[in-house]
Structure 1
Amino acid sequence: MLYGNILTPDGWQLGELRWQAGRISRLGGEPVDPATNDHPRILPGFIDLHVHGGGGADTMEGGAALETLARTHARFGTTSLLATTMTAPDAEIRRVLGEIDAYLRAPAADAARVLGVHLEGPYINPGKLGAQPAHARSGAIEEVDALCALAPIRLVTLAPELSGHFALIRHLTARGIRVQLGHTLGSYEEGVEALEHGACGFTHLFNAMTGLHHRKPGMVGAALAHADYAELIPDLLHVHPGAIRAALRCIPHLYAVTDSTAAAGMPDGDYCLGEQTVTKCLGGVRLADGTLAGSTLTMDQALRNLVGLGLTLAEASDRLSRFPADFLGLPERGRLAEGAPADLVVLDPRLNLQAVFVEGRAIEGAPPCP
């Protein structure tokens, strides 16, 4: 049982939240403005749809690395995530998908739930790799179906301008797999057409895509003018606060991701990102040539950053929990309601993390509940 300011789908309530067998069994109290008291703030657990690593472990290592990254991010309030792959040779992608599937069959009990896979590449533009290795290529339906047979792929990032990709978008959408546009040199018109074929989001908005110009609106322009959903890295390094504010005004369900690497939760130094070595220093992660290469962001800091930009705590919570859950079609996750999984984060009035629960289980290494 927890007592405090509970963020429910109907607003803030001061009262009790109870759970049994991993699901919320009771919650309720009186409507409240949490600014009027010092009781804890109880929010839905964070859902991160773009996670490459954490705690020194990289998704592409597979095996024990998956448990390490899931445990690491749970300590910072992430209760569900998508294990995100890197562009790589086909054999390497197939290997790691098999290892992710094996982990999903026997996941760690005290870690963030891995909901499936975000396949970021290899179906991206070789001219807009960002920090992706140089194994980009066009995708074929038969190849993608073979990958989907290896693990539950929930989300695919691709460049729509590559040959055959409009047909691939339609096929993935028909299979219930979400498609985001990213690592792309595509035009505004190609972005709009991709949305018409079923694409429904944009990967790390503003980064690794054609920018907005008033005569060539680019992929960013397509997102700002037409998107309902898009992911964004709010570490205040990947995207200027002014651009974040513009996106918040334009995209109704803009949601936060970390795009975190093995360096998340770790000291400065060298780490792996797929087949590449990246360096954490000065709050960021970069390749040897200075290119940003994912982040060290954790979701609790993403929440504080969004609140610092002027969002209310409830608005920021939606962009870390409810919106990503809705994007994946998971209506019982990302919100606190009776019958929903007891995925919870507890914050003090200064938004410092106090406790984390995944399906009612307290996370080892998270701060103790006050």
Structure 2
Amino acid sequence: MSTWGGPVDVTLTGGRVVTPDGVLESGWLAVRDGRILAVGEGAPPDGPTTDVSGSWLVPGFVDIHCHGGGGEAFTNADPDRVRKAASAHRRHGTTTLLASLVSRPVPEMVEQIAKLAELTQDGLISGLHLEGPFLSAARCGAHDPAILRPPDRDSVTKLLAAGGGAVRMITLAPELEGAVDAVRLLVDNGVLAAVGHTDGTEAQIRPAIDAGASVATHLFNGMRPLHHREPGPIGALLDDERVTVELICDLVHLHPTAVRLAARHAGTGRTVLITDAIAAAGVGDGVYDVGGLEVRVVDGVPTLAGGGSLAGSTLTMDAAFRNAVTSCGLSVVEASQAASTRPAALLGLSAQTGELRAGLAADLVVLDAELRPRDVMSRGAWVKD
């Protein structure tokens, strides 16, 4: 498990620094008191320096859809187990993370939410994402279809109340009874409404977007396929400028061409890389429990034991970033915006993290020439094993 040292005062020099204004080819970044003091080229400010020549400096990754890692799932809300899961991803550069919960009966989810909400206060996690239980049984994926249900106002209100502001996003299927009203309720409470695990037609998706749904949960996966005579959710979500699209860039859930087409159409302002990781991330093959369903991981690919449906991923954000660049044709700057800047903005955290600029938290990843993490800094402290 990674541990936290204290914040360090240091200036990183000689690296290629990805800033909001472009890449500083031989730049420096000064860290003081846990924050970025300044970023520039030429002579660095006085103080201790560390040479990172040959490396990239990118903002710490922001994962808005992650179910666990390090052998632990966020459904196990014990603080030590949550810390182990979050630490597994932090070592791979994820400095900001939403804990995602899979579909369970509402009373059980209320209990999970209440426990996890307490852990948002120390920054271990930055909030909660509820993937269900308001999903389509026809596109349930690795969610127990027996648990899925329409989003009545009382249930949505109970889930939000349990978090006391910690619930940041809820995924639902717009074709379900009451779903559009639920979207309005979420938006009125400052919660992101996401469209996913849906069998809806384009005509059923559009009203949810008009009501305020602004995220496409793992676009392409868990939804009616795109067809030239019925665009369905993929066409509606990808084509609407109000919607940010999540992409699982593990090269299993999506072919590189699909990633490239979606990212090019949505652009940097609407594209987000996610992991959708389960407990197996950072651990390896084996048998795992996901929302009460048995999942087998073989060669790093999780599938339901009985049905063969993909059941999340074993992805980490550094691998998603690397895949986006090396296999899908995104530039390092574009991948950085999708892995850090855009998701931070989506969560309303742009004044705190997501970019390498003065005044923000010193959340950053030092990547080697092959885009693999060399070092990770979170709030000015080096993350160490």
Residues in 2 aligned to 1:314 and 1:105: alpha-carbon distance in whole angstroms: 31
2:295 is equivalent to residue 315 of structure 1: no
Question: Which residue in the other structure is 1:61 paired with?
Answer: 76
Aligned residues: CA RMSD: 1.6
Aligned partners of 1:195, 1:19: CA distance in 2, in Å?
Answer: 41
- Contact 2:27 / 2:40 at 8 angstroms: preserved in 1? yes
Q: 1:360 — aligned with what? A: 380
Residue aligning to 2:360: 340
* Matched AA of 1:11: G
Q: C-alpha distance in 2, partners of 1:141/1:17?
A: 48
The reply on whether 1:41 has 2:56 as its aligned counterpart is: yes
1:133 and 1:61 mapped to 2: Cα distance? 18
CA deviations on 1:290-327 (whole Å, 9 max, x unpaired) are 11000001111111101012111111111100011111
* Normalised TM-score (structure 1): 0.93
Moved more, 345-354 or 271-280: 271-280
Question: Which residue, out of 179, 186, 190, partners 2:193?
Answer: 179
Q: Which amino acid aligns with 2:276?
A: D
Contact 2:238 2:245 in 1 (8 A): no
Q: Deviations over 1:79-128 (max 9, x none)?
A: 01100001001221011111101222345xxxxx4110001100111221
Q: Is the 1:24–1:339 Cα contact (8 Å) retained in structure 2?
A: yes
Q: Is the 8 A contact 1:160 1:191 kept in 2?
A: yes
**TM-score normalised according to structure 2 size:** 0.89
Q: CA deviation at 1:65?
A: 2.1
Partner residue of 2:343 out of 317, 321, 324: 324
Query: In the aligned structure 1, how far is the partner of 2:321 from the partner of 2:177?
Result: 38
Q: Which stretches in structure 1 are left out of the alignment for 5+ residues? A: 31-36, 108-112, 366-370
- Aligned residue pairs, count: 355
Written as runs of structure 1 = structure 2, the 5 A alignment for 1:288-307 is: 288=305, 289-307=307-325
Return the alpha-carbon distance in structure 1 between the equivalents of residues 31 and 212 of structure 2: 38
> How far does the alpha carbon of each residue in 1:202-228 deviate from its partner, in whole angstroms, 9 at most, with x for none?
101001111111111111111222144
Task: Give, in whole Å, the separation in 2 of the partners of 1:198 and 1:223.
Answer: 12
Residue 267 of structure 1 corresponds to which residue in structure 2? Answer: 284
Choose which of 258, 266, 275 in structure 1 pairs with 2:275.
258
Question: Is 1:131 the counterpart of 2:142 in the alignment?
Answer: yes
Q: 1:170 maps to which residue?
A: 184
C-alpha distance in 2 between matches for 1:22 and 1:275: 40
- Are residues 1:105 and 2:121 paired? yes
Say whether the 8 Å CA contact 1:5–1:40 is kept in structure 2.
yes
Counterpart in the other structure of 2:174: 160
Q: State the Cα deviation string for residues 54-81 of structure 1 (Å, max 9, x = none).
A: 0000111111321111100001110011
Contact persistence 1:192–1:226 (CA under 8 A): no
Output the CA distance in 1 between the equivalents of 2:331 and 2:228: 31
CA distance in 1, matches of 2:68, 2:110: 18
The SS at the match of 1:330 is coil
- Residue 202 of structure 1 aligns with which residue? 216
Q: How far apart, CA to CA, are the structure 2 residues paired with 1:245 and 1:26?
A: 33
Within 5 Å, give how 1:25-40 maps onto structure 2. 25-29=37-41, 39-40=54-55
Deviation above 3 Å: which 4+ runs of structure 1? none
The equivalent residue for 1:249 is: 264
Provide the rounded CA distance (Å) in 2 between the counterparts of 1:272 and 1:212: 31
Which SS does the other structure have where 1:314 is aligned?
helix
SS of the residue corresponding to residue 81 of structure 1 reads strand
Q: Secondary structure at the match of 1:260?
A: coil
* 1:232 maps to which of 247, 253, 256: 247
- For residues 312 and 225 of structure 1, the distance between their equivalents in structure 2, rounded to whole angstroms, comes to 22
> Which amino acid counterpart does residue 342 of structure 2 have in structure 1?
F
Give how far 1:347 is off. Answer: 0.7
- The residue aligned with 1:51 is 66
Q: CA deviation at 1:328?
A: 1.6
